[in-house]
């Protein structure tokens, strides 16, 4: 994530959701304004890993209900190996307790009942480096 002095950071996003309509809607929502740029989207985890390698996003937004995710932990583990600095935001219709392990491994969680401003804020918050 790079920005000019005094300018907000530009956040590069990859979306991973099995539903084409959801991905299209999320892309349209996240592309409003100039803070976020969707650099890729897919409904398959293998393609998602390829997109991460090709596009170098700051964050990957995933729906843990993808059939091949098996709960999502293996995907996050593989993602952390190929792109250790990429953040992960889980976007789910389920209660976070249903995905407790996945939520713990991710950098953020948002329910699909979000307000548009909540999603944008969650993506930005998940990409802010932790104070150390």
CA–CA dist 79, 127 (Å, integer): 15
Per-residue pLDDT tens digits for 65-110: 776 655 567 888 889 999 999 999 998 887 777 777 877 888 988 9
User: What pLDDT shows up at residue 115?
Assistant: 82
Q: Per the structure block, which two tokens stand in for 72?
A: 């999502």
Per-residue pLDDT tens digits for 55-77: 999 999 998 877 665 556 788 88
pTM value is 0.85
- For residue 103, count other CB atoms closer than 10 A to its CB: 17
- On whether the CB atoms of residues 78 and 46 are closer than 8 A, the answer is no
All domains of the chain in start order, with CATH: 11-127 (3.40.50.2300)
Instruction: Report the SS3 class of residue 7.
Output: coil
- On whether the CB atoms of residues 59 and 123 are closer than 8 A, the answer is yes
């Amino acid at each position: 994530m790079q920005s000019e002095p005094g300018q907000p950071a530009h956040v590069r996003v990859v979306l991973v959701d099995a539903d084409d309509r959801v991905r299209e809607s999320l892309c349209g929502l996240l592309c409003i304004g100039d803070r976020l740029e969707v650099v890729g989207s897919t409904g398959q985890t293998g393609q998602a890993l390829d997109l991460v390698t090709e596009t170098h996003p700051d964050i990957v937004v995933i729906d843990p209900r993808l059939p091949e995710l098996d709960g999502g932990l293996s995907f996050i583990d593989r993602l952390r190996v190929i792109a250790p600095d990429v953040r992960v935001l889980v976007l789910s219709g389920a209660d976070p307790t249903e995905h407790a392990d996945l939520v713990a491994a991710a950098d953020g969680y948002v329910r699909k009942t979000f307000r548009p401003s909540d999603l944008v804020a969650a993506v930005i918050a998940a990409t802010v480096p932790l104070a150390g």
